Structure 1
Amino acid sequence: MAGPQKPGPKRSAPPRQPGSAQADRPRTEQGAARRLANKAARDQRQTVALPPLPADSLALALTIAAEGLAKVRGGQALNDGLASLWAPYPDLPASTRGAAQDMLYGTLRDYARSEVMLRQLMQQALTEPVIDGLLRVALHRLEARPDAAHTIVDQAVEASARIARGGLKGLTNGVLRNALRQWPTLIAAADRDDEGRYRHPRWWINATRRNHPEHWQAILQAANTHPPMCLRINRRVTTLAAEQTLLREAGIATRALGDWALLLEKPIPVASLPGYADGRLSVQDWGAQQAATLLDLQAGQRVLDACAAPGGKTAHMLELADIELTALDADPQRARRVSDQLARLSLNATVQAADCRDASLWDGQAYDRILADVPCSASGVVRRHPDIKWLRQSEDVAGFATLQAEILDALWARLAPGGKMLYVTCSIFADENSLQVARFAARHNDCQRLAFDDGLPERRLLPGPEHDGFYFALLQKR
Structure 2
Amino acid sequence: MALNIRAAAAKCIFAVIDKGRSLSDELPLQISKIDPKDKALLQECCYGVLRVLPELEYEVRSLMDKPLVGKQRVAHFLLLVGLYQLKYMRIPDHACVAETVAACPALKCNHLKGLVNAILRNFLRKKANEDNSTLPDAIKYNHPGWFIKKLQIGYPNDWERILAANQIKPPMWIRVNRQHHNIKEYLALLIEAGINFSNVDDKSGAILLTKAVDVYKLPGFELGHVSIQDGAAQQAAVLLNCQPNDNVLDCCAAPGGKTCHILELTPDIGKMTAIDIEENRLIRVQENLTRLNLTAEVITADAAKQDWWNGEKFDRILLDAPCSGTGVIRRHPDIKWLRKATDIDILTKLQQEILKNCWSLLKPNGTLLYATCSILPEENSQQIQAFINQTADAELIQINQNQSIGWQILSGENNMDGFYYALIKKKNHSS
**Normalised by the shorter chain, which TM-score bucket?**
over 0.9
Tell me which of 277, 294, 301 is aligned to 1:330. Answer: 277
Q: Matches of residues 273-352 of structure 1 in structure 2 within 5 Å?
A: 273-321=218-266, 322-323=268-269, 324-352=271-299
Bigger Rg, structure 1 or 2:
1
- What percentage of aligned pairs have identical amino acids? 39
Q: Which moved more, 1:121-130 or 1:384-393?
A: 121-130
Match of 2:109 in 1: 165
Q: Matches of residues 422-461 of structure 1 in structure 2 within 5 Å?
A: 422-452=369-399, 454=401, 456-461=404-409
Is 2:125 the counterpart of 1:205?
no
Say if 1:190 and 1:196, in contact at 8 Å, map to a contact too: no
Distance 1:163 1:263 in 2: 41
Query: What SS does structure 1 have at the residue aligned with 2:290?
Result: helix
Say if 2:400 and 2:406, in contact at 8 Å, map to a contact too: no
Say if 1:235 and 1:260, in contact at 8 Å, map to a contact too: no
Match of 1:470 in 2: 419
Match of 1:64 in 2: 8
Distance 1:453 1:173 in 2: 55
Match of 2:192 in 1: 249
Q: Which moved more, 1:190-199 or 1:262-271?
A: 190-199
Q: Aligned partner of 1:471: which letter?
A: Y
Q: Please list the CA deviations of residues 283-341 of structure 1 after superposition, one character each: whole Å capped at 9, or x if unmatched.
A: 00000111111112111100100110110100011011121110001001111111110
Is 2:94 the counterpart of 1:150?
yes
Match of 1:98 in 2: 40
Query: What SS does structure 2 have at the residue aligned with 1:359?
Result: coil
Query: What SS does structure 1 have at the residue aligned with 2:415?
Result: coil
Is 2:56 the counterpart of 1:114?
yes
Query: What SS does structure 1 have at the residue aligned with 2:369?
Result: strand
Distance 1:411 1:119 in 2: 49
Query: What SS does structure 1 have at the residue aligned with 2:223?
Result: coil
Shift of 1:61: 2.4
Change (3 A) 1:190 1:345: farther
Distance 1:199 1:422 in 2: 33
Shift of 1:447: 0.9
Say if 2:304 and 2:354, in contact at 8 Å, map to a contact too: yes
Say if 2:75 and 2:109, in contact at 8 Å, map to a contact too: no
Say if 1:66 and 1:130, in contact at 8 Å, map to a contact too: yes
Match of 1:272 in 2: 217
Distance 1:273 1:191 in 2: 47
Query: What SS does structure 2 have at the residue aligned with 1:167?
Result: helix
Shift of 1:190: 7.9
Change (3 A) 1:191 1:78: farther
Say if 2:132 and 2:140, in contact at 8 Å, map to a contact too: no
Change (3 A) 1:61 1:429: same
Shift of 1:177: 0.8
Distance 1:165 1:70 in 2: 15
Shift of 1:171: 1.1
Q: Which moved more, 1:204-213 or 1:248-257?
A: 248-257
Q: Matches of residues 395-410 of structure 1 in structure 2 within 5 Å?
A: 395-410=342-357
Query: What SS does structure 1 have at the residue aligned with 2:355?
Result: helix
Match of 2:131 in 1: 188
Is 2:178 the counterpart of 1:235?
yes
Shift of 1:248: 2.7
Shift of 1:126: 1.4
Shift of 1:166: 5.3
Q: Please list the CA deviations of residues 22-71 of structure 1 after superposition, one character each: whole Å capped at 9, or x if unmatched.
A: xxxxxxxxxxxxxxxxxxxxxxxxxxxxxx67x8xxxx322221121111
Tell me which of 172, 175, 178 is aligned to 2:122. Answer: 178
Match of 2:33 in 1: 88
Shift of 1:476: 0.9
Stretches of structure 1 lacking an aligned partner (at least 5 in a row): 1-51
Match of 1:29 in 2: none
Q: Please list the CA deviations of residues 138-175 of structure 1 after superposition, one character each: whole Å capped at 9, or x if unmatched.
A: 11111113672222111111112332235211111111
Shift of 1:275: 1.8
Match of 1:416 in 2: 363
Shift of 1:189: 4.1
Kindly report the root-mean-square deviation, in angstroms, between the aligned alpha carbons of the 2 structures: 1.7
Say if 2:176 and 2:225, in contact at 8 Å, map to a contact too: yes
Q: Which moved more, 1:465-474 or 1:141-150?
A: 141-150
Match of 1:366 in 2: 313
Change (3 A) 1:97 1:153: same
Is 2:332 the counterpart of 1:385?
yes
Tell me which of 145, 152, 164 is aligned to 1:221. Answer: 164
Distance 1:193 1:355 in 2: 42
Match of 1:123 in 2: 65
Shift of 1:262: 1.3
Query: What SS does structure 1 have at the residue aligned with 2:181?
Result: coil
Distance 1:237 1:392 in 2: 40
Say if 1:233 and 1:280, in contact at 8 Å, map to a contact too: yes
Change (3 A) 1:82 1:166: closer
Stretches of structure 2 lacking an aligned partner (at least 5 in a row): none
Distance 2:91 2:288 in 1: 43
